[in-house]
Amino acid sequence: MFSNRFIRILPLVFLLSGCETTPDTPTSTSEIKANPKTIVSEQRKDIAQIAPLTTKELDDVWQRIRAQLTFANSSHPDVQQRIAWYLSHPNYMDEISRRAEPYLYYIVTEVEKRNLPIELALMPLIESDFDASAYSHKHASGLWQLTPAIAKYFKVQISPWYDGRQDVIDSTRAALDFMEYLHKRFDGDWYHAIAAYNLGEGRVLRAISNNKKQGKPTDFFSLKLPKQTSQYVPKLLAAAQLLKSNKMVFPPISNQQTIVALPVSGAVILDNQEEWRSLEGLNYGVIRFPAVIDAPHIVVPASKQAEFKSMLANQKENDYSQWQHYTIQPGDSLSVIAKRYAISVKQLKAFNNLKTDRIRAGKKLILPMLADQQVEHLVKSGESLWKIAKRYNVSITKLKQWNNLSRDRLQIGEKLTVFLSNS
């Protein structure tokens, strides 16, 4: 399923690889099919106000966003250059809409609940191109490209089994918490807050302070910031202005609930029915799917909520033959065993229904680790992630996740860890 998906988007992989690698400007002047000066003059006429939505448009989430856009239009050259880039890549939004379709209604709803600027719902477009499995070389991950430090601060769980940064529910909550914090930190200036989301609040505050000392303006466009961040806000403004002006096609996304989170308590091994397997693409945060451990929920299509809720309620008791076992040795303690296997004492007690920390030598413990075969694959000449994933019948996403890979290129002699299911 996922290998085929990769093949399908391969031609766009360099175009749609997240905010850090998306070209800041067209690679050559011949690519620009729109004159920025012309765009500016047209926008001044066309987006002085947003036209009322038709009944048909109300069925589209993009148009729902369009009706609520509030950021002022900008004629700054960086914004216009990015608008020209978007217009010279008309297929870009086709792929963006395909990726955003499962998530956009949920994200827009959450932004509206907090009464935040609707432009924030476009941030995953800038951060990750709406790729929930995206992973950057700076170890940021998911739709919102949260770093481990920010995730931890905003209580997003990351463990060997679950990475909430790749879960749309947990990551959206944390990202919007972070944006609310930054908005207050920068005294209500959304452009400063958005820049700080990308760069870090300290460096944006220093840039503001430096301008103050030199008697210069402190608005976003006057700050001296790294190139990536100086282009970050313009990318967002450009996308918003194009949506507002209807100068670029945003393929429609149905304006109705698409996903639901079903709570999960404890550890669950979902059987390998085709219905469960269809959920993997909505649950990138579950690292060892279908073993759902540490995850507070699984995300399912709203249209199949009742079906999956019933299936989850009727799951049989875990088949513990699928888990690793450990025979307690003299001198062992739960903390010693937990440290040895990089798991928590809490997990160890939960899996073995232990009420106390007392254990006896000779008894067996069930470890919250699947009894899978772990393979170390040595990369050979001519091999790619796609070839290796196909060989072991695993997805490229999981292959990258298991090995913390943010890149697609492999080096000869590099070692990759692959987990093979016994089922």
For the annotated catalytic residues, the residue numbers are: 127
* Rounded Cα gap, residues 86 and 192, in angstroms: 23
Is residue 11 reached through a cis peptide bond, with omega within 30 degrees of 0 on the bond before it? no
Amino acid type, 92: Y
Structure tokens at 365: 């413990």
Q: Is 312 helix (H, G, I), strand (E, B) or coil?
A: helix
Annotate 119-137 with b (16+ C-beta within 10 A) or e (fewer): bbbbbbbbbbbbbbbbbbe
CA dist., res. 224 & res. 203, Å (int)? 10
Answer yes or no: are the C-beta atoms of 77 and 35 closer than 8 Å: no
Q: Within 10 Å of residue 385's Cβ, how many Cβ atoms? A: 22
Angle at 145 between CA 154 and CA 4, to 5 degrees: 130
Residue holding tokens 């680790």? 369
Residues facing 261 on adjacent strands: 299
Q: Pull the structure tokens for residue 117.
A: 């600027």
Residue-wise DSSP of 159-222: -SSBBGGGSHHHHHHHHHHHHHHHHHHTTT-HHHHHHHHHH-HHHHHHHHHHHHHTT---SGGG
Residue 96: which residues within 8 A CB-CB, separation 6 or more? 16, 125, 129, 130, 250
Phi-psi region of 339 (alpha: psi -120 to 50; beta: other; left: phi over 0): alpha
